[in-house]
Amino acid sequence: MKPTISIRHVSPATAPVEAVVILPTFKRPDHVVRSLDSLYAQTTGRRFAIIVMENDAVGLEGLGAATSWFEAHPSVCGIALVAHEQGNCSAYNAGIATALETYREFSHLLIIDDDELASETWLERMLETSERLDLDLVGGPQIPVFEDGTGERWARHPVFTPHYRTTGPVPILFSSGNVAIRRHVLTATGPDWLDPAFNFIGGGDADFYTRCRARGYRFGWCQDAPVMETMPRRRTEASWINARSVRNGAISSIVERRNGDGRNVKRHLRTIALLGASPLRSAALALKTRSLSIGIYHMQVAAGRFLGEFGKVAEQYRQPEKN
């Protein structure tokens, strides 16, 4: 389904670009400006464009902030638009569709979120890794920056730690918050790159990557291309961490069910095995981190996966401003 889009600003700079960065935003007008500043500060000789997708079609605060930013930086190729269907998958799809229609010569599309800041060599290192290792999709670390000063404690929690630590090919990616995707992947997998069914539960990225893996696309990791992700105080509350951990488990079950070719028995056995092993895995993690609140993660994930077998998953993104 083609996303409903309203283009509100197009910068006067129109030179051919090698890459396009898409940046969804929802009620973070101050932070989206910081994200744009970090993109403007990139150390690279590559010409790239930026597309900001406002997903609050009522308040439009992010649209106003992005438009003002583009007007103050006329040398930047950029577009600000409104993605009218609320939800992160719909916002991403609006940005991807606009990139493909507007910048027909780009080779890579990169994604960064409006609560993230790119390191100065982020774009260059992501693209160089994709080219050097011939990878179709490349991810990078999202380094949490805790606003309440609890970073030393929570940075060890699996909810906040990157899945990989070394640059090179990897089996699959897990997050859309720091990724570079080759154009040919997008032209072959649209127009619902991220399925809107995942708009409010999350997991649209995991579903997309699973479909890409089934097509034979190659995944990789660039450890030297981090983004800094702002973690507000609410994300260190036990209720938020529990909801995210349970949700992770539920999504794994839902994605497998949607892409597993009907292999229900294997999926059920895997769920039962994870439930049985989760107390021991949680105990080991608690000992390693010296934190019971971190250790119970594996039990939370296993419980979420069990609930996901029955289609039960919380819509944690229904109110993005509280996420």
Boundary residue ending a domain (219, 235, 251): 235
For residues 309 and 294, give the distance between their C-alpha atoms in angstroms, rounded to a whole number: 24
Residue 25 confidence (pLDDT) above 80: yes
Residues 130 and 219 in one domain: yes
For residues 112 and 175, give the distance between their C-alpha atoms in angstroms, rounded to a whole number: 10
Residues of the chain with pLDDT > 70: what percent?
Answer: 96
Residues 282 and 159 in one domain: no
Residues 181 and 296 in one domain: no
Boundary residue ending a domain (188, 216, 235): 235
**20 with 110: CB under 8 angstroms?**
yes
Neighbours of 288 (CB within 10 A): 11
Token pair 């529990």 in the structure block, residue: 242
pLDDT at 321: 61
Enter the tokens of residue 255: 């994605």
pLDDT in tens, 77-121: 999 999 999 999 999 999 999 999 999 999 999 999 999 999 999
Residues 216 and 265 in one domain: no
87: CATH: 3.90.550.10
- Domain total of the chain: 2
Residues 209 and 311 in one domain: no
Residues 147 and 52 in one domain: yes
pLDDT at 218: 98
Residues 230 and 256 in one domain: no
**Which amino acid does the sequence have at 108?**
H
Residues 114 and 69 in one domain: yes
Residues 185 and 255 in one domain: no
- Single pTM value for the model: 0.94
pLDDT at 143: 95
How far apart, in Å, do the first and last CA atoms of the chain sit? 26
pLDDT in tens, 251-298: 998 898 887 754 677 878 888 898 899 999 999 999 999 999 999 999
**Mean pLDDT, residues 188-210 taken together:** 93
Residues 43 and 185 in one domain: yes
Residue 192 confidence (pLDDT) above 60: yes
Boundary residue ending a domain (205, 235, 265): 235
Q: Which domain holds residue 254?
A: 238-322
Residues 219 and 253 in one domain: no
Residues 289 and 245 in one domain: yes
